[in-house]
Structure 1
Amino acid sequence: MPRQHRSRERRYSEHAGRPGRRENPDRSREQAAPAQDCSIFGITCESQYLAQWRQPRPGSCSTRLSHGYPVPDPRCTPGGIDASVSEETIRNPAWRTKCLRNCQSSEAEKHVTYKWYGIVKPRENSGESQVCELDHLVPLELGGADGLGNIWPECGPAGVSLDGRYFKLKDRVENYLADEVKAGRIPLAEAQQGIAADWTRYLPEANRYCAAGGRC
């Protein structure tokens, strides 16, 4: 698993104008936690990608379908982790995703991924009108990296309510896997690699978990 280290914002400073996991709802208002809140976890904020990664050219990436749902281009978004986040970290009640959010790439920098995938950033993208989310492929709650090789624009489908959008369905998978890791039923590394390879494979289990009262 090759390591790709990034200085927090320097490497991508030339790409100003990119979003994060959410813009208005892409969670842009949730900033990285103050150091004193997260220092107990020893977070390094470095990306270890799950495959060799080079920054893509605009328009060179495309999503594909798996089980009828979009997954990112593995050349452009292989997924990545912050190896300083352990299972013990995730089980700690004090753990919050804000300890990783925007710690390596800013909200503005993340917007470049729209260009990589040839997607026009929606003008209205908040509340019930949200159609895209700039998604951490390996989610932050599972120790996902904040580097750009772990970010992709997850958009659509049209004509459905907000809770039926693809990024909301993936949220179910993220919550399901995080709870499985916390309960010791799935190793953290297995969950990280599995969701990076194909998040849709877990959707049936996540839907059952949601229907049974789990976090949706």
Structure 2
Amino acid sequence: MPAPARGAIAIAAAVLLAAAAGCSSGGGHTAKDGSHSKDGAHGSAPAAAGDAAQPAPAKIVTGPGPKSSYDAQPQPAAGSCHYHYTADKQPLPDPNCTPGAISPAVNQGNINDTICKPGGYTSTIRPPANITGKEKAENAKSYGYTGPMGDAEYDHLISLQLGGDPNDPRNLWIQPPSPGHVPGKGPNNPKDSVETHLHTAICKGQVTLTAVQQAIATDWTTAEVKLGISKGATAAPTAEADADGD
């Protein structure tokens, strides 16, 4: 055999031996995308837990807005909604049933003529009690709430004073009592004070309407912290707050 041919065969044999040694040592192989796999599978190695970016909150839907008259709205199926609770046992709604809905009548450009209007705004758009009472009873079935109805609020997740929709069922939930509640004493809802504080911050130009709506829809207990404003002192709701669950 000519010398050049013998040399080529020797080189090829050396390459094959090196490849075999790499596989037997557990070194794996490199895939076409450059990732290295010890189990022989192609593709990238799984990302470590916590590496994946959290999805941004979904855009809040817009409801039908204020009406001259309201009809009782259909509620989610009985037992289909489930409360969530914070570490200190404050109730949160089921985001699949109550993600929040905003009013098309309120925007950043008209807050001085709507939610920040002197003399009040929410009383002019609030659905009457004979409508919300029917909805509250049906929503209690949706959430499986079995406590005294007088101890729970039919609450606007995004309150009317924050530009929430008045009667979109996606913005209303039966809110159970918070910790420390005395049965039979009516609702004890610290969310009302948070809403009043956020309303003041909007009207003073400290935060934007959209930022507040997103924060309160995500978690009312952390909204003030997320927006970078100090937590307000607990106080009775103002005229713009909702006596039956704003």
Shared fold, TM over 0.5: yes
SS at match of 1:192: helix
Deviation at 1:161, TM superposition (A): 4.9
Note if 1:62 corresponds to 2:62. no
Contact kept? 1:64, 1:70, Cα under 8 Å: yes
Q: Which of these residues, 114, 120, 126, is aligned with residue 140 of structure 2? A: 114
Gaps of 5+ in 2: 1-58, 239-246
- What TM-score do you get using the length of structure 1 for normalisation? 0.64
SS at match of 1:153: strand
Matches within 5 A, 1:61-140: 61-68=81-88, 69-86=90-107, 87-88=111-112, 89-102=114-127, 106-111=131-136, 112-120=138-146, 122=148, 125=150, 131-140=151-160
Q: State which structure, 1 or 2, has the greater radius of gyration over its C-alpha atoms.
A: 2
Deviation at 1:77, TM superposition (A): 0.4
Contact kept? 2:156, 2:173, Cα under 8 Å: yes
Deviation at 1:209, TM superposition (A): 2.1
Matches within 5 A, 1:9-88: 9-10=70-71, 12=73, 55-68=75-88, 69-86=90-107, 87-88=111-112
CA change 1:167–1:138 in 2 (3 A) is: farther
User: Among the aligned pairs, what percent are the same residue?
Assistant: 30
Deviation at 1:203, TM superposition (A): 6.0
- What TM-score do you get using the length of structure 2 for normalisation? 0.57
Contact kept? 1:170, 1:199, Cα under 8 Å: yes
Distance 1:135 1:214 in 2: 16
SS at match of 2:174: strand
Q: Aligned residue for 1:141?
A: 161
CA change 1:159–1:167 in 2 (3 A) is: closer
CA change 1:60–1:67 in 2 (3 A) is: same
SS at match of 1:91: coil
Give the partner amino acid of 1:60: S
Gaps of 5+ in 1: 16-54, 126-130
Deviation at 1:10, TM superposition (A): 4.6
Note if 1:185 corresponds to 2:210. no
SS at match of 1:101: coil
Distance 2:202 2:87 in 1: 24
CA deviation vs aligned residue, 1:29-70 (integer Å, no higher than 9, x gap): xxxxxxxxxxxxxxxxxxxxxxxxxx5211110110124211
Note if 1:201 corresponds to 2:222. yes
SS at match of 1:152: strand
Q: Aligned residue for 1:210?
A: 233
Q: Aligned residue for 1:47?
A: none
Determine which structure has greater relative contact order: mean sequence separation of CA pairs < 8 Å that are 6+ residues apart, divided by chain length: 1
Distance 1:151 1:167 in 2: 17
SS at match of 1:57: coil
Aligned residues: 167
CA deviation vs aligned residue, 1:89-146 (integer Å, no higher than 9, x gap): 222203321122107x9223322111110112525x2xxxxx2111100001111112
Deviation at 1:5, TM superposition (A): 3.7
Contact kept? 1:157, 1:165, Cα under 8 Å: no
